[in-house]
Amino acid sequence: MIDETFLTTEEVLEYLQVNLRTVYRLIKAGRIPAVRVGRQWRFRKADLDAWLDGQRRGGRAEARMAEAGATASLESVGRRVLVVDDEESIRELLTKTLALAEYETQAVSDGRAGLELLRREHWDLLIADLRMPEMDGLSLIREARRLHPQLPVIIVTGYSSESNAIQAVNLGVVGYLVKPFRIPQILSAVAKALGEQD
């Protein structure tokens, strides 16, 4: 039997733990299924669950990304996110999630490559893993601060500690995600870091 439970926009905000702007961005891009009822949007819970499951597994998301290219175009987005993480699965999850939310995203596997991109190109947000070979996340963030003092930074880590959290706060980090994290947490942290969340 198909679940015919429909959610209002307000209920979806709570269910996905994202802000209104992100929901409308996803609707406009055709990323989440929604039905217009008069002036209101309605979302079938079963469709949202299937969409979230597809995001986790990469299924339909991967096909849509292939159609649109690896990243969304700058004209449609305006916000560029650099992801630096040595775990391929985390890079894939972050880039797919952010591309589907229409951020232009590029990912690299180490701090030195990330630093090179920070030197050459403009970025609106840096997402960096704490533990990486050669150059760790905190070293990368220190260098990023020298280059771009106002650049918002989100840290992702599988090894949360009070010491790392204190260092991150001292470096002005605006978000701290502990692995494993869920898609709504990513979108919420990015929206907040970019000032898109109330």
Classify domain 70-193 at the CATH superfamily level.
Response regulator (3.40.50.2300)
Question: Distance between CA 103 and CA 123 in Å, rounded?
Answer: 11
Query: Of 97, 99, 107, 148, which Cα lies nearest the Cα of 124?
Result: 148
Beta strands in 3-148 (DSSP E): 6-8, 35-37, 40-44, 80-84, 104-108, 125-129
Closest CA to 182 of 50, 46, 53: 53
Query: What is the pTM for the complete model shown?
Result: 0.64
Per-residue pLDDT tens over the stretch 16-68: 777 777 777 777 777 777 777 777 778 888 877 777 777 666 544 444 443 33
Strands 104-108 and 175-178: unpaired
Domain locations in the chain as residue ranges: 6-66, 70-193
Q: CA angle, 149 as apex, 186 and 163 as ends, to 5°? A: 60
Digitized pLDDT (tens) for each residue of the chain, 198 residues in all: 444 678 888 888 777 777 777 777 777 777 777 777 777 778 888 877 777 777 666 544 444 443 333 333 333 346 899 999 999 999 999 998 888 788 899 999 999 999 999 999 999 999 999 989 889 899 999 999 999 999 999 999 887 677 777 887 788 899 988 888 888 889 889 988 988 765
